[in-house]
Amino acid sequence: MSTQCAETRSTACQLLADRARAIVRSDDHELPVLPEVAVQLLKLTADVNCDPKDIVDLFKRDQSLTGHLLKIANSVRYTCGQTVTSIQQAVARLGLLCVREVVMLISCQTRVFNVGGFEEDVRDSFAHSLATAAYSQEIARVRRLNVEDAFLCGLLHDIGRPVLLQSLSDDRKATDGDATDDDIREAAEEVRIEMASKLIQSWELPERLSNTIEHQSTPLEAGDLDQQAAMLNLAIDLANMTLDAEAEVPEELSHPIISVLNLYPEDFKSVIGRHSQILEWVESTQ
């Protein structure tokens, strides 16, 4: 490639990256919204004294959500060896916290992780988010920290990527731009974390979730949320390892975050010992 072509390509990439940042910082750009039933379910299940019948009635209003719920309730992560055949059974067996997890998971999969032209990218991102969510929750359990927050941070940590892939792809079509798919991927990578934080805020989820996700790469700078950010950081790396077919999953791991979390060897073995089940769950949920 000539120097002039390289410079032109570099300028084009920079313009695309600037466009991605503009999208993130715009107050007018339309963001994906949660399904109305999902919003109501999240509000309802936030009350530990809610009536399970009200939850079931809400699910019945959305057949797609119901179908996804039954599929996930019978997945390796949630099943107890008995097939769940009704919403009532699923709600009773899963409990409020797991129902909230599943509602968010389904909403993300159907509303966000679905980008034409970037199907493989989005599929890989969703698989990685599922694995990260599962590992985050396992780490939270051994550290006796908030397991629901850990799951949601893992699930949502990369949610900015598909949003940006969709937005930049739409821009390319609307302007007949000549940006390549790789250009779009690179621009999305630069600001995906910022977009994830913005989307979480737009969904009115707890601010601590967006703050934790903002520090997924810099957990020691997360202040009071350093432990939560450290869990997410470690879970991301464990998910990478688990989803890499050529990587060996070690019984012990040399990782700077291990000491930050004060994880004992037996704690880490407990977490990493779940890798087969986590991989099976990820594959069954795709």
- Using a pLDDT cut of 90, give the percent of the chain over it: 45
Residue 2: pLDDT band (50, 70, 90) is very low
Same domain, 83 and 223: no
Same domain, 14 and 41: no
C-alpha–C-alpha distance, residues 74 and 78, integer Å: 6
| CATH classification at residue 207 | 1.10.3210.10
Same domain, 148 and 213: yes
pLDDT at 8 over 80: no
**Domain end residue (candidates: 90, 110, 130):** 110
**Of 3 and 283, the one with more pLDDT:** 283
- Using a pLDDT cut of 70, give the percent of the chain over it: 96
**Domain end residue (candidates: 110, 141, 175):** 110
Q: How high is the pLDDT of residue 27?
A: 87
Can you tell me the mean pLDDT for 253-273?
88
pLDDT at 269 over 80: yes
**206: its two tokens:** 């707890």
**Domain end residue (candidates: 63, 85, 110):** 110
Same domain, 51 and 187: no
Same domain, 4 and 91: no
C-alpha–C-alpha distance, residues 269 and 111, integer Å: 35
Residue 230: pLDDT band (50, 70, 90) is very high
Domain of 90, in residue numbers: 34-110
pLDDT at 6 over 70: no
Do the beta carbons of residue 157 and residue 213 sit within 8 Å? yes
Q: How high is the pLDDT of residue 209?
A: 95
How far is it between the farthest Cα atoms of the chain? 68
Same domain, 283 and 196: yes
Residue 193: pLDDT band (50, 70, 90) is very high
Our measurement of the distance from residue 283's CA atom to the centroid of its chain's CA atoms, rounded to an integer in Å, reads: 15
Q: What's the Cα-to-Cα distance from 122 to each of 16, 158, 243, rounded to whole Å?
A: 19, 10, 15
C-alpha–C-alpha distance, residues 115 and 108, integer Å: 12
pLDDT at 172 over 50: yes
Can you tell me the mean pLDDT for 12-37?
86
Can you tell me the mean pLDDT for 170-178?
84
pLDDT at 115 over 60: yes
Same domain, 40 and 26: no
Of 196, 218, 235, 179, nearest to 12 by C-alpha is 179
Q: How high is the pLDDT of residue 87?
A: 87
Same domain, 129 and 179: yes
Same domain, 200 and 189: yes
Range of 16-25, 75-84, 134-143 with top mean pLDDT = 134-143
Q: How high is the pLDDT of residue 10?
A: 64
Q: How high is the pLDDT of residue 3?
A: 47
Same domain, 23 and 50: no
pLDDT at 81 over 90: no
Same domain, 94 and 16: no
Q: How high is the pLDDT of residue 160?
A: 95
Range of 73-82, 115-124, 169-178 with top mean pLDDT = 115-124
C-alpha–C-alpha distance, residues 69 and 119, integer Å: 23
Same domain, 161 and 271: yes
Do the beta carbons of residue 146 and residue 162 sit within 8 Å? no
Number of domains within the chain? 2
Q: Is the pTM here over 0.75, yes or no?
A: yes
